Homo-oligomer: A and B are copies of this chain.
Amino acid sequence: MILYSYWRSTTSYRVRAALNLKRVAYSQRTVDLVTGDQRAPDYAALNPGKGVPTLQLDDGTILTQSLAIIDFLDATYPDPPMLSGDPAARARQLAVALTVATDIHPVNNLRVVGQLKSRFNATADDAQDWMCHWMAEGFAAIEDLLPDTTHEPASGATQTFAFGDTPDLADLCITAQVYNAHRWGVDLTPYPKIARIEAACLAIPEIQAAAPENQPDAPR
């Protein structure tokens, strides 16, 4: 399969990590969001939302929206699972993932920041402050949504990730967003569970291999 993606896109990062953890073979094609590749007619025909990622399956099926793609991968390549089989546990994992995917990421998207600049003459400092504001709000919410065991495991417990001993969708969304947090200088000290999850995820080779700096289109 072919993943249309961009090295620095955090939604691409989520999907690369899921593909790697599930050991699904794929090749990447770069969609350079900075030069506007996503608005080229050929690409917009694949992905009408003009974003990344897009996953093209071997039978030609086109999938868009990172969480929809990971939902598909979880159904078709169930090992390891990105979401629990227990409905309430799954809803808690999804709530954390969606806090990143709806409350933080979209408001900080390149196209939104572009509109802040063109409509309101936002400066680079304004844009940075805007992005850090939404990350701080969202990270504080996630810190409260995560079980306390992530922060201080009960004696003998091995839980390292958001909701268990293996990374799930919540961990992938958090880790990708924290990449962006580092980029914009967000202090993670108030969010110890998030910082711990990122460290645990980056110690996993499959997730490390999905990180922006390790992509073929990253600057050398």
Within 8 Å CB of A120, what residues of B? 116, 119-122, 126
User: Which of B64, B75, B105, B145 is the one whose CB lies under 8 Å from A48?
Assistant: B145
Within 8 Å CB of A126, what residues of B? 119-120
Q: Does A213 contact B (CB under 8 A)?
A: no
Which residue of chain B has the shortest Cβ distance to A144 in the bound complex?
B48
Query: Once the chains bind, are A105 and B102 in contact (CB under 8 Å)?
Result: yes
Q: Does A219 contact B (CB under 8 A)?
A: no
Q: Does A98 contact B (CB under 8 A)?
A: yes
* Smallest beta-carbon distance A27→chain B, Å: 20
Q: 1/0 contact trace for A62-91 toward B, CB 8 Å?
A: 011101110110011000000000011011
Query: Once the chains bind, are A65 and B98 in contact (CB under 8 Å)?
Result: yes
Q: Does A33 contact B (CB under 8 A)?
A: no
Q: Does A181 contact B (CB under 8 A)?
A: no
Within 8 A of B (CB), among A90-113: 90-92, 94-95, 98-99, 101-103, 105-107, 109, 112
Within 8 Å CB of A103, what residues of B? 49, 51, 106
Within 8 Å CB of A106, what residues of B? 102-103, 106-107
Q: Does A50 contact B (CB under 8 A)?
A: yes
Within 8 Å CB of A112, what residues of B? 107
Query: Once the chains bind, are A72 and B88 in contact (CB under 8 Å)?
Result: yes
Report how many residues on chain A are interfacial, defined by Cβ distance under 8 Å.
50
The complex places the Cα of A197 from the Cα of B196 at a distance, in Å, of: 44
Q: Does A24 contact B (CB under 8 A)?
A: no
Binding site for B on A (CB under 8 A): 48-51, 57, 61, 63-65, 67-69, 71-72, 75-76, 87-88, 90-92, 94-95, 98-99, 101-103, 105-107, 109, 112, 115-116, 119-122, 126, 129-130, 133, 138, 140-145
**Can you identify 23 A-B contacts, CB atoms within 8 angstroms?**
A48-B140, A48-B142, A48-B145, A49-B138, A49-B141, A50-B141, A51-B103, A57-B88, A67-B102, A68-B94, A68-B95, A71-B87, A72-B88, A72-B91, A75-B87, A102-B102, A103-B106, A106-B107, A107-B112, A115-B133, A119-B126, A120-B122, A120-B126
